[in-house]
Amino acid sequence: MPSEALAAALTGSSDDLRDILAKAGAAEVTLQLPGTAKGPLPSPETGSEAPGKGLRLGAWETPALVLPAESALEALSALAEPDPDGPWSAAVSLRYLCVLAGQACDLARRGRMLPQLVTESGVPAARWQPVLTGADAASYRDFAAALPPICRAVTTSGGTTDDAPSDAGGSGVGRTLRDALEVLVDSAARQLMPERLMVGIRPGPKAPLPDRFIAALTAPDPALPGARPAEVAELAKPLIGWLRAAHEANGPIRVSFRLAEPPPGEDDWALDFALQSADDPSLYLPAADLWTGARMPGLPSQPDETLLAGLGRAVRLFPALHEALLRAQPDAMTLSTSEAHEFLRQSAPLLQAAGFGVQLPAWAGRKAVGLKLTTRTRSKTPSGKAAAESGFGLDQLVDFRIDLVIGEGTVSAEELAELARLKVPLVRIRGQWVELDDRQLKAALKAVGRRREGQLTAAEVLQQVVDGGEEDLPLVEVDADGSLGDLISGQAAERLTPVPTPPGFQGTLRPYQERGLSWLHFLARLGLGGILADDMGLGKTAQTLSLLLAERLDAETPVAPTLLVCPMSLVSNWQKEAARFAPSLRVHVHHGGGRKRDEDFRDTVAASDLVVTTYGTALRDLGLLREVHWGRIACDEAQAIKNSGTRQAQAVRDIPARTRLALTGTPVENHLAELWSIMEFCNPGLLGPAKRFRRRFQEPIEVRGDADATAALKRATGPFVLRRLKTDKSIISDLPEKNEMKVWCTLTAEQATLYQAVVEDMMAVIDGSEGIQRRGNVIAAMTKLKQVCNHPAHLLKDGSRLPGRSGKLARLEELTEEIIEDGDKALIFTQYAEFGTMLQPYLAAHLDRPVLWLHGGLSKAKRDELVDRFQNDTEPMLFLLSLKAAGTGLNLTAANHVIHVDRWWNPAVENQATDRAFRIGQSRNVQVRKFICTGTLEEKIDAMIERKKELASAVVGTGEDWVTNLDTDQLRELLSLDPVAVS
């Protein structure tokens, strides 16, 4: 698309965007993009499939709009919320940059920046640069791990400093992210800090450089032309030292402060000092114990000097600390109530952001003043009456009352007025300390004059719960009775009398499944959508089919059909499960080249109860599907619509239906925006616009870990999400155990030689590349090394013999022999289809038993035939499966062994594959084995995942891209072969 057309599409009817893009210049930029000889591949979010052949990384001249750096923040703010009905949607890279812009604004608001004198195009300039310590440094590493590949398609350079955290990656990822963050922080700082000097009295070009520098920090133009090199170096040196000192608290052992509230009847607060491990905060040594000789693991040789040096640095942020340092062995200090409040409000956030440990009372930082909503139904539902008979509806009137809450108790208007008059910021109320905020008190006093009791409809109450009050006066507690209370509490499924298994259901629902059915039926009657987020294998399909049967019992009018959208791999599963559990349902599959069109389609739908289609077909046939007003749209594996801007997510939202249902075991995989996207499908508009959701919930929870925002989000979404885990014995007690183990394999001498040769060759290539090309080379190296670990013939692709050349294959032969001899069946997963094609005939000949092989190249009919044979044939056998083709949607409970021959390094993907066998219907314990070659990158990455499971869930969840962010030395260490690897 030409630059002019791009600008026109982006601006649309937005005056703000039009003004911003007026500053942009049309340009051609060279991007390193994957493609074929015909051109670069379209964005994955368009839904287009990549060709199987001819892919390569190439340089493509791409039309672009180039904005001045100072306009970047303004542009991202305007582009953050595209019109859902507009001609464009936000791709992953744009959404990423918008979140990064929010992080930059947060850093600037909290003062996490320092002035620096940098050189840009040969001219000195005054810039603000971020200070990334403590939680901010961890967030920076998360941003580096999540950097979209397209952001690395152009290498960047600029006047940056090397004092920011460097563990996010080398010159590619680290520099790209750092440049972007520095530009955004500088722009945010200039917006937040009003210009301090009027233009008429601004220092002229001959004024001292420090005066000009200070003025330029708040001026639109940061440049300082004409400055002499000597005076630039003189001013820059202490500024660089200042920035470096700001990062010094980021060592393995840090000084920690713990504020303890006074005992009842006393007013003295204790601030205790300690040394604490930065990686494991549970390793904590109070200073009082340190001075008596106590020690803990990881301490430096002179821990007393570490404590004193840390306290000395902290004085800059907490000046009152100098009194404690007058003692030779400081271990604590006493604070008055006013000093404690000053520490809470000012010093504690600064210390924490600078990397010091800070432990505060549980109530600190929470909004002390809030609202409590109490509702009472006007007529009680008889005890034990089923939800379907309760008569509850969204138009039902309930009595309500709103009370003001401080801490954990309600207060009267008179008590509130007295607290406002006293103007005491930290006060003990009914035995509990609370921190009172002037803005909250003013908002509470205004609320006193509003209507505080009366009647509302149930729908209005639900909306109040979702809205959550005001920014300064949040809704902190809801007390509702009856069915409304059950719904708001998220306990409707447990408290409502279960709807019994419908007569047409062939089988018996378990108690928790009947509770799920009652919840689904209850929401459907109200016209509300929901997310059935039960763990994989707990029977979401059976609960959904029973719902369709239940709502057709004694229906006075015909029930409109349900449209079920699912991945292509699950179409047959829904057909078979419907035929098994609900044979009376009329099921039609709308998929494939021969699918019905126009009038034939409408006639078929009118005669159907359930229409099954795929996400791809829904996108292609959106116009046709929109002509039908469905009774319900259900999305299976609803994580497929977790990105709200994708075309398939927009397509299913555009199809009209009375109610909507999302089925997914992972409603949130990476970030809270995914929950908003799925909720927006289920109940459009309920959580408000995405921008408001991000400001109110996503940023406070993900960036600051805000407990109040977390509770508010749970309260807002609780009525519409039902989540049960199969590991919960109160849910399901008869599911057998899953025993996971690692199987350590050694390389043969041939494998070790090949491995070392690949490392030497690929490291030479990686050393000479950068940006997206370097990333591609790292992925290629990893792929080759994993192929070596599987078998030399897998790497060489020479059709050579298999036996005796691979440690993994030898162990696989031993295990499969035992499994077959015991009369069992096993699933064997590999991520490489070519390796599976090699293994299948070899294992079949070696074992003289059937070895089935399922991969992405099979037709739907052939897949179904293989699954049916494996499940129903009593002969012991193996089922070899491609991880991508068979990781979801299959029921393979005939197997009680699962073997992962090569690792995907994404626990979620591996667990989904394992759950093909470990699910309802499995009667035996499941043995799960994960093959790892010792001394290789497989063992090292496994160890990294074990050490940093929290990080792995966020970083490894994106696949293997995170390894490409390591610098050359880290890569060499990761890929190198340990001596113990060879058998």
Q: Please tell me the least confidently modeled range out of 56-70, 581-595, 803-817.
A: 56-70
User: Which letter does DSSP use for residue 744 in this model?
Assistant: E
**What pLDDT is attached to residue 882?**
87
Chain centroid, CA 272 distance in Å: 36
Local confidence band at 83 (pLDDT 50, 70, 90 cut-offs): low
Are the CB atoms for 81 and 105 separated by under 8 Å? no
- In this structure, the number of other CB atoms found within 10 A of the CB of residue 612 comes to 25
| Tokens, residue 254 | 């840090």
CATH number of 738-981: 3.40.50.300
Residues 6+ apart with CB under 8 A from 221: none
Domain ranges of the chain: 1-67, 68-246, 253-359, 369-489, 492-722, 738-981
Q: Which among 545, 616, 568 is positioned nearest to 863, based on CA atoms? A: 568
Q: Is the pLDDT of residue 60 over 70?
A: yes
| Tokens, residue 269 | 């607060």
d(CA 970, CA 477): 50
Local confidence band at 727 (pLDDT 50, 70, 90 cut-offs): low
d(CA 911, CA 888): 10
Instruction: Find the mean pLDDT for residues 621-627.
Output: 93
Q: Please tell me the least confidently modeled range out of 124-128, 131-135, 527-531, 717-721.
A: 131-135
User: Dihedral through CA 832, CA 838, CA 839, CA 841, nearest 10?
Assistant: 140
**pLDDT tens-digit series, residues 893-952:** 899 899 999 877 666 677 777 877 777 667 788 888 889 888 888 887 777 655 444 433
Helix (H, G, I), strand (E, B) or coil at 929: strand
Instruction: Find the mean pLDDT for residues 332-351.
Output: 87
Q: How far apart are the first and last CA of the chain?
A: 57
Residues 6+ apart with CB under 8 A from 356: 134, 249, 254, 255, 256, 257, 310, 314
Percent of the chain with pLDDT over 90: 23
| Tokens, residue 405 | 């809450």
Burial code (b: 16+ CB inside 10 Å, e: under 16) for 923-958 equals: eeebbbbbbbbbbbbbbbbbebbeeeeebbebbbbe
| Tokens, residue 579 | 């035929």
| Tokens, residue 871 | 């499940």
Residues 6+ apart with CB under 8 A from 531: 638, 661, 662, 663, 664, 667, 678, 679, 682, 720, 721, 722
Burial classification of residue 280, based on how many CB atoms lie within 10 Å of its CB (0-12 exposed, 13-18 middle, 19 or more buried): exposed
Burial code (b: 16+ CB inside 10 Å, e: under 16) for 469-479 equals: beebbbbbebe
**pLDDT tens-digit series, residues 375-405:** 777 654 443 333 334 455 666 777 777 777 7
Residues 6+ apart with CB under 8 A from 895: 824, 825, 826, 827, 870, 879, 916, 917, 926
User: Which letter does DSSP use for residue 695 in this model?
Assistant: I
**pLDDT tens-digit series, residues 677-708:** 999 999 888 888 888 888 888 888 776 677 77
- Range picked from 114-123, 250-259, 582-591 for highest mean pLDDT: 582-591
**What pLDDT is attached to residue 842?**
93
Alpha helices in 110-208 (DSSP H): 134-145, 173-192
- Pairing assessment for the beta strands 926-933 and 738-745 based on DSSP bridges: parallel
Of 28 and 403, the structure prediction assigns the larger pLDDT to 28
Q: Measured on CA atoms in the order 711, 713, 714, 716, is the torsion positive or negative?
A: positive
**What pLDDT is attached to residue 365?**
66
Instruction: Find the mean pLDDT for residues 954-966.
Output: 43
**pLDDT tens-digit series, residues 635-678:** 998 888 888 878 888 999 999 999 999 998 777 766 788 889 99
Local confidence band at 171 (pLDDT 50, 70, 90 cut-offs): very low
User: Dihedral through CA 617, CA 640, CA 920, CA 520, nearest 10?
Assistant: -90
Are the CB atoms for 759 and 785 separated by under 8 Å? yes
492-722 and 738-981: identical CATH topology: yes
Write a three-state SS string for 821-881. HCCCCEEEEECCHHHHHHHHHHHHHHHCCCEEEECCCCCHHHHHHHHHHHHHCCCCCEEEE
Q: Full-prediction pTM beyond 0.75? A: no
What's the whole-number average pLDDT of the chain? Answer: 80
**pLDDT tens-digit series, residues 100-129:** 888 888 888 877 888 899 998 889 999 999
**What pLDDT is attached to residue 619?**
92
The residue type at 169: G
Architecture in CATH of 492-722: 3-Layer(aba) Sandwich (3.40)
**What pLDDT is attached to residue 720?**
86
**What pLDDT is attached to residue 85?**
58
- Range picked from 217-221, 372-376, 447-451 for highest mean pLDDT: 217-221
Residues making up the chain, counted from first to last: 983
**What pLDDT is attached to residue 387?**
37
Phi and psi at residue 83, to the nearest 5°: -65, 120
**What pLDDT is attached to residue 186?**
92
d(CA 476, CA 526): 26
**What pLDDT is attached to residue 581?**
92
The residue type at 155: T
